[in-house]
Amino acid sequence: EDQVTQSPEALRLQEGESSSLNCSYTVSGLRGLFWYRQDPGKGPEFLFTLYSAGEEKEKERLKATLTKKESFLHITAPKPEDSATYLCAGLSARQLTFGSGTQLTVLP
Amino acid sequence: EPEVTQTPSHQVTQMGQEVILRCVPISNHLYFYWYRQILGQKVEFLVSFYNNEISEKSEIFDDQFSVERPDGSNFTLKIRSTKLEDSAMYFCATRSWSGNTIYFGEGSWLTVV
């Protein structure tokens, strides 16, 4: 059974304080590792797809990286508007399996 | 950014009633999905749909659920006889043939009373 585990569950940062979110995955025949941002009461907003170990992608203050067992979402100098739940998901031939998310709060 | 549109945004229904949730996928996307998220819990897979048939479904997707694409554009999720535990946010998602992006709609919040 495919599994995706995210840590920490919650993270509070001061504005400008960089950090990383972790996503460990066991997904059969991984076809892509996805990162999403979710605001309260909203749908997941697509951020990145990573396909192979060593791949990196960047968008503004976010950078996602992938190894054979984990993915990291690095947040550099976060701002309060980066506060959200960040979801990691692994795509197999069958389905996209989500982790429970990391709830990020960035304090001004 | 491409948009997946879902209606209604919120529906309150009596237990035992039928509910239809609708989704307008991104044009030229070929794979369609329904997911649900119970308040405070993770996003859970319900069903995937390709080439006008179900390609995969989870244990949650039992006989009370059905999906169809009645007119070649809308993609619907029907819950035949709603239960209290069906209260959740239901998300439609679509994927292109290349598979490098899966976009989600804003969700339909279903409350069963």
> Residue A5 has what pLDDT?
97
- Chain A residues interacting with chain B (CB cutoff of 8 angstroms): 31-32, 34, 36, 41-46, 49, 51, 87, 89, 91, 94-101
For residue B105, report the phi and psi dihedrals to the nearest 5 degrees: -80, 180
Q: Dig out the tokens for B9 from the structure.
A: 């945004």
Nearest CA to CA, how far is B52 from chain A (Å)? 16
- The whole-angstrom separation of Cα B90 and Cα B79 is 11
> Residue B99 has what pLDDT?
67
The stretch A50-72 carries a mean pLDDT of: 96
CB-based contact A96 B99, cutoff 8 Å: no
- The whole-angstrom separation of Cα B85 and Cα B112 is 8
Containing H/E element for A92?
A: none
**Cis peptide before B70, with omega less than 30 degrees from 0?**
no
> Residue A73 has what pLDDT?
98
> Which pLDDT tens digit goes with each residue over B14-73?
999 999 999 999 888 889 999 999 999 999 999 999 888 999 999 999 999 999 987 778
> Which pLDDT tens digit goes with each residue over A41-51?
999 999 999 99
> Residue B70 has what pLDDT?
79
> Which pLDDT tens digit goes with each residue over A10-43?
999 999 999 999 999 999 999 999 999 999 999 9
Collapsing DSSP states into helix, strand and coil, what is residue A97? Answer: strand
Q: Chain B: residue nearest A39 by CA?
A: B106
**Cis peptide before A8, with omega less than 30 degrees from 0?**
yes
Chain B residues 42-61 within an 8 A CB cutoff of chain A: 42-45, 48, 56, 58
> Which pLDDT tens digit goes with each residue over A84-98?
999 999 999 888 999
CB atoms within 10 A of CB A74: 15
Confidence of residue B2 (pLDDT cuts 50, 70, 90): confident
Report which residue type is found at B97: W
